[in-house]
Structure 1
Amino acid sequence: MKRLSAIGSPRSNLVVGAAVAILGLSAGTAFAQTAPAPQRPAQPAVKPKPAAPAAAAPTPATPAPATQGLASTKTAGGDDVIARVGEANISAEELRAYVGALGAREQAALAKDPALLSQAVRMLLANRLVLQEVIAKRWDQRPNVAAQLDRVRENALVEIYLQSVSTPPESFPSEDELQKVYDANRSALLVPRQFHLAQIFVAAKDGDKAAEDKARKAIESIQAKLRAPGADFGAIAQAESNSKSSGDLGWVAENQIRPEIKAQVQGLAKNAVSEPVRLDDGWHIIKLIDTKASYTRTLPEVREQLVQQMRSERAAVLRRAYLAELLKQNPPILNELALSNLLDNSRK
């Protein structure tokens, strides 16, 4: 909603598409082992609209979308072909590998917005086209390009190897280790009290007396309508509010509500309406639809994210220990004078 910022940040919607589900992505966000952030409750997914009935008479032939021809296409290995450009295919396995190589934050973003997956496929197809052009022009065989490729290959080999030697055992974390970390983070796993709110907003610019007087009259008129027997808050909000909507803000966490609004909300009974509240952008009338008490998220709720974060942190520790031991066994020798001269020359 346009004026949701008046009481806090917009509520997040969690909509996981079928394509993302097939890839096995997790929609949960990882939290720090020492100070995890509580997660806001997910909002209901939007139900898809029913498909329109088929027309009785055939319509003129139109070009088929590029994806229609891939409905039953398989690779030589029997895997589904997700997309194609020219002679290049993107298989489901390749896409799974691409997504699997992403970081936890990027995977969480894909899970929240399946449209990003389509963008990723288009990017992969564009890369395939560029690669075809590179090969056709033998561009990769140029000496300076070949040298860069060698450096990239070396870095990639080092990274892959370090990942292999720093991967925690499958048994980590144990149930006991998991429980200890969960207990240490219980206070950070507290989900604050939530309010299901609706609002009527009337804009009023600070310092503009004429606009302020007009807004006050509008607020008085709205209050009179709200006091009428059987008054419909949503209908009045849609007719009178500057947001021109039903005013439903959904569930909002207590710590995301402006102090001026929270002071009013905390004193309201269920389905009660507040007095007008003046903020820097205008006047707000709040209705409390319902309340959810605060609670601490349970271990089963956070298990997947907690395990992922603990394994990630353990991998980082193992990597540092491996590199430290490697350097201890093979002490490096630095030419400090040459290094200093190199730095001096770079500053000139």
Structure 2
Amino acid sequence: MNHPGSILRAALLLLLLTGAHRLKAQETDKVIGSIGNMELRQSEVLESLGRLDDADKAALTSDPATLNKLVRSILVQRLVFHEAVQKKWDEEPSIQPLLKSTREAAITDSYLKTLCKPPGNYPDEAELRAAYESSRAALTVPRSFRLAQIFIGEQQGSDQKLHAVRQRLRENPALFGTVARESSEEKESASRDGEIGWLTESQIQPEILAQLPKLRVNVISDPVRLKDGWHILKVLDVREAFTPIFDQVRLQLTQRLRAEKTRANMQAYMTGMLQKHPVAVNEVALSKLLLAPSPELSKKDL
């Protein structure tokens, strides 16, 4: 028979080991961002990325600024969610139908995707090669520019501010980052010395794109006037259009083909379900549905 003291010591040891394991997991799972007293960890960001399609993942990979925006968006959403739960918004009668339909949709989508997932060896090498050859045009990455800017909005005194900024840059172009931090009114890029990040030609407004071929790397443009104000640009780097080699897009092609196969399998599964369980709709009742008074209106009328 175990002595009570030995049982207690074993329980304490188990608690210590569990706590150490959790601490080790937290050390590995780094904090990516925080808002108030809430933290967003690496695993949570990866989970969010797992719900994106291939095109969005590719955009995030090529532009760290976009990933930064995603993290900020998740943190703000979490803050608002926390406030809503604190105020028991999830218990409001009006929100219950939405919660029910959202839950049903999430369960249904997850079930179907798991059920219709293609085998682990799909696609094979030949299918990947064929997809690469047929997708060359779509895979081509257009010419891209890594840009920085100083933005001055349209407001009273903007002309004087624009003149002062241009004067500082004429005197010392190397101060572009400093001037962006101090004077640019687009705060997110200003915090990075004005850097916007990589943009393809199709992502750049035509008025700005027209100026870029005239600029060499690290040369500062004349102010470009758009509807929102003045943009002073600096080209930090240029990437010419190119088509990635097969190995560079193998993973992207695999994910795309597997997603397409999953969708096709889901469609086939649903078609089979409908053949076994035909849908019946009361057309007469349906035609009168929108003419019926809403429950809220009926209550008010009583």
TM-score over 0.5 for the pair: yes
State whether residues 38 and 190 of structure 1, in contact with CA within 8 Å, keep that contact through their aligned partners in structure 2: no
1:303 matched to 2:250? The reply is yes
Match of 2:171 among 215, 228, 240: 228
Q: Post-superposition shift, 1:267?
A: 0.8
CA deviation string 1:46-105 (max 9, x = no partner): 9xxxxxxxxxxxxxxxxxxxxxxxxxxxxxxxxxxxxxxxxxxxxxxxxxxxxxxxxxxx
State whether residues 193 and 291 of structure 1, in contact with CA within 8 Å, keep that contact through their aligned partners in structure 2: yes
Match of 2:148 in 1: 198
* Secondary structure of the structure 1 residue equivalent to 2:168: helix
TM-score, length basis structure 2: 0.55
Match of 1:31 in 2: 54
In 1, Cα distance between the equivalents of 2:121 and 2:65? Answer: 35
State whether residues 19 and 114 of structure 1, in contact with CA within 8 Å, keep that contact through their aligned partners in structure 2: no
* Secondary structure of the structure 2 residue equivalent to 1:295: coil
Q: Post-superposition shift, 1:270?
A: 1.6
Match of 1:285 in 2: 232
Q: 1:180 to 1:220 in 2, by over 3 A?
A: same
After TM superposition, the structure 1 stretch with the greater mean CA deviation from structure 2, 226-235 or 252-261, is: 226-235
Match of 1:268 among 174, 197, 215: 215
* Secondary structure of the structure 2 residue equivalent to 1:39: helix
The number of residue pairs the alignment matches comes to 234
State whether residues 49 and 57 of structure 2, in contact with CA within 8 Å, keep that contact through their aligned partners in structure 1: no
Aligned counterparts, 1:155-174, within 5 A: 166-174=116-124
* Secondary structure of the structure 2 residue equivalent to 1:232: helix
* 5+ residue gaps, structure 1: 1-14, 47-108, 131-148, 206-210
State whether residues 63 and 197 of structure 2, in contact with CA within 8 Å, keep that contact through their aligned partners in structure 1: no
Q: 1:257 to 1:156 in 2, by over 3 A?
A: closer
In 1, Cα distance between the equivalents of 2:260 and 2:42? Answer: 26
State whether residues 117 and 262 of structure 2, in contact with CA within 8 Å, keep that contact through their aligned partners in structure 1: yes
State whether residues 225 and 231 of structure 1, in contact with CA within 8 Å, keep that contact through their aligned partners in structure 2: no
* Secondary structure of the structure 2 residue equivalent to 1:195: strand
In 1, Cα distance between the equivalents of 2:58 and 2:182? Answer: 37
Match of 1:249 in 2: 195
In 2, Cα distance between the equivalents of 1:289 and 1:167? Answer: 43
Q: Post-superposition shift, 1:332?
A: 5.0
* Secondary structure of the structure 1 residue equivalent to 2:215: coil
Q: Post-superposition shift, 1:268?
A: 0.7
In 2, Cα distance between the equivalents of 1:158 and 1:236? Answer: 53
Q: 1:174 to 1:270 in 2, by over 3 A?
A: same
Q: Could you say what the CA RMSD is over the residues aligned between the two structures, in angstroms?
A: 4.9
- The letter of the residue matching 1:248 is G
TM-score, length basis structure 1: 0.49
In 1, Cα distance between the equivalents of 2:168 and 2:108? Answer: 71
Match of 1:189 among 139, 146, 156: 139
* Secondary structure of the structure 2 residue equivalent to 1:271: coil
Q: 1:116 to 1:308 in 2, by over 3 A?
A: farther
Aligned counterparts, 1:1-348, within 5 A: 20-21=42-43, 25=47, 27=49, 29-31=52-54, 39=59, 41-43=62-64, 166-205=116-155, 211=156, 215=159, 217-228=160-171, 231-243=174-186, 245=190, 247-253=193-199, 254-325=201-272, 332=278, 339-343=282-286, 346=289, 347=291
* Secondary structure of the structure 1 residue equivalent to 2:64: coil
State whether residues 149 and 196 of structure 2, in contact with CA within 8 Å, keep that contact through their aligned partners in structure 1: no
Q: 1:275 to 1:324 in 2, by over 3 A?
A: closer
Q: Post-superposition shift, 1:266?
A: 1.9
- The letter of the residue matching 1:199 is Q
* Secondary structure of the structure 1 residue equivalent to 2:54: coil
The structure with the greater share of residues assigned to helix is 2
State whether residues 184 and 194 of structure 2, in contact with CA within 8 Å, keep that contact through their aligned partners in structure 1: no
In 2, Cα distance between the equivalents of 1:174 and 1:255? Answer: 34
* Secondary structure of the structure 1 residue equivalent to 2:59: coil
State whether residues 30 and 305 of structure 1, in contact with CA within 8 Å, keep that contact through their aligned partners in structure 2: no
CA deviation string 1:204-246 (max 9, x = no partner): 24xxxxx37x51x433333333222575222333444445746
State whether residues 194 and 251 of structure 1, in contact with CA within 8 Å, keep that contact through their aligned partners in structure 2: no
CA deviation string 1:255-312 (max 9, x = no partner): 2222212222221112111112222222222122222223334444443343233223
* 5+ residue gaps, structure 2: 1-30, 34-39, 91-99, 293-302
Instruction: Give me the identity figure in percent.
Output: 32
In 1, Cα distance between the equivalents of 2:217 and 2:147? Answer: 10
- The letter of the residue matching 2:239 is K
